[in-house]
Chains A and B, each alone.
Chain A
Amino acid sequence: MEHGSHSDPSKSTFSLVDEDHTFANSIRFTLNQDPRVAFTGYSIPHPSENRVNIRVQTTGDPAREVLKDACQDLMLMCQHVRSTFNKAVEVAKSSRVRTEDTDSD
């Protein structure tokens, strides 16, 4: 799924099947936030084909590793979102129970 040159691993296009804007746009964001990335972007060559191409050009590190790190970052961000959300829901639930208690008093 990687298309790049053998001599220069810092520039590559990754072609992912069964993905769309959902993944590509958020990974573009995390890649852009990485200082090692010189350029990144994605395209969907044809709307009826389930495929996105993600282009990564770095300042020297292998593009593959940088993309992997970006995925890792996105995953950790998601985990943090999930735990924060669960905590917020717990808080909301307990305060709701409390207001119901005081209502019935």
Chain B
Amino acid sequence: MSEEDESMSDFEEGEEGSGLDFILSLDDVPSNLPPHLELLKTRVLCNSDAPQHTDTIQYSGAYAALGVDNSLRLDSFCENFKIEVNRMADDVIEFDMIGIDPAIANSFRRILIAEVPTMAIERVYIANNTSIVQDEVLAHRLGLIPIHADPRLFEYPVNAGDDRNEKNTIVFKLHVRCKRGQPRITVKSDQLQWLPNGSELPCENAKPNADSKPKTFTSFACSQDSLPEFSCNPLGPTNPDIIVAKLGPGQEIELEAHAVKGIGKTHAKWSPVATAWYRMLPEVVLLEDVEDELAEELKNKCPKQVFDIEDCGKGRRRAKAARPRDCTLCRECIRGGKEWEDRVSLRRVKNHFIFTIESTGAVPSEVLFTEAVKILEDKCERVITELS
């Protein structure tokens, strides 16, 4: 017996619908819908032909005629909302987010991909490049290297070409040469050398001034490694073994790369995540007892081993959906005719998300999520101030 069937018995008839205001003025608004509607409201039914009831019922008055209030009050949201962390490693976090609408869960995902800032190489000044990798390809490859720097410690560059100081720019130098007569060498990301004092390349169009230092592409007021936040935590690429180029004998690369703060919307190199995705919690319900040979057949049908067989005494065996979470919705178990569709019901829980965030390494994934939520808060705040 599924949960929905059980709730059938204790469902009480709601008041006659007589206007939303009246309903809302009641102290105890009946919150349970008839079980069949509750099922359609909270579950996606994954039938063999197509998923059904995929939309969420958002409108507060959707069930007004039944005397059921569909609005969401903040206190009930806070009461029901839950997060459970399943897995947490250096660069990846997986957690269950329960009791939230897909609209908001999706906003978090979109913000994670496109609007949480990171640092990435934006300008590359190539002094010499005799490798077979063209300048623009090389610059693009450098741009995609994740930089281990906390973007919260930096400012956005006000305007490209504007003031580049220690607060908005990180400078790296790359100088490698493959000597003649030597075997080919591979240039990897760890050869990018951090220049905490800023650029060393003289700016061409600046007038040479005899007494002062030659003007460079940056104007750092102080060395970055004298700042407390970087002195014990040198900046550099997150991964030391990303191949940048290969050099044959006699080839050389000499360049300077400037990393700035940006967001994934502008260019994917600033995206802080490798992937950020969620899936709805699968629910596998056996609508009738599946026993003996059929149970065996069902168990073998599923490629993800969702079903187990349990002994129910007297030599009878019964199938049981033991690991619905592993279900990939391949629908293999409901293939083979109508009778299987009647035995197994595949569903997804609409407000239960299994969220996975894989960071590129620049910022830990749990920090990324809190940053994403903060960005959505900022958006709200912006609109509120514009409206008032």
Contact = CB atoms under 8 A, between A and B. Distances in A.
Contacts of A84: 81-83
Interface string B83-96: 11100100001010
A78 B82 contact: no
A25 B107 contact: yes
Nearest to B364: A89
B210 interface: no
Interface in A1-59: 1-2, 14, 16, 19, 21-23, 25-30, 32-35, 37
B373 A35 contact: no
B230 interface: no
Contact of B376 (A16, A32, A78, A80): A78
Contacts of A34: 60, 71
B111 interface: yes
Contacts of B59: 32
Contact of A33 (B71, B111, B369): B71
A57 to B, nearest CB: 12
B88 A77 contact: no
A80 B366 CA distance: 16
B127 interface: no
B60 A33 contact: yes
Interface residues of B, number: 49
B74 interface: yes
A28 B72 contact: no
Contacts of A27: 380, 383
Contact of B104 (A2, A26, A64, A76): A26
A88 B376 contact: no
B132 interface: no
B107 A26 contact: yes
Contact of A81 (B20, B373, B383): B373
B83 A85 contact: yes
Given A84-B81, A85-B369, A85-B370, A29 B58 contact: yes
19 contacts: A2-B387, A22-B110, A26-B103, A26-B104, A26-B106, A26-B107, A29-B58, A32-B59, A33-B71, A71-B384, A74-B104, A74-B376, A80-B81, A81-B97, A82-B370, A82-B374, A85-B95, A89-B85, A89-B88
**Nearest 8 pairs between A and B by C-beta?**
A92-B85, A29-B103, A32-B58, A75-B380, A88-B83, A71-B380, A33-B72, A26-B107
Interface of B: 20-21, 24, 58-61, 69-72, 74, 77-78, 81-85, 88, 93, 95, 97, 100-101, 103-104, 106-108, 110-111, 114-115, 366, 369-370, 373-374, 376-377, 379-381, 383-384, 386-388
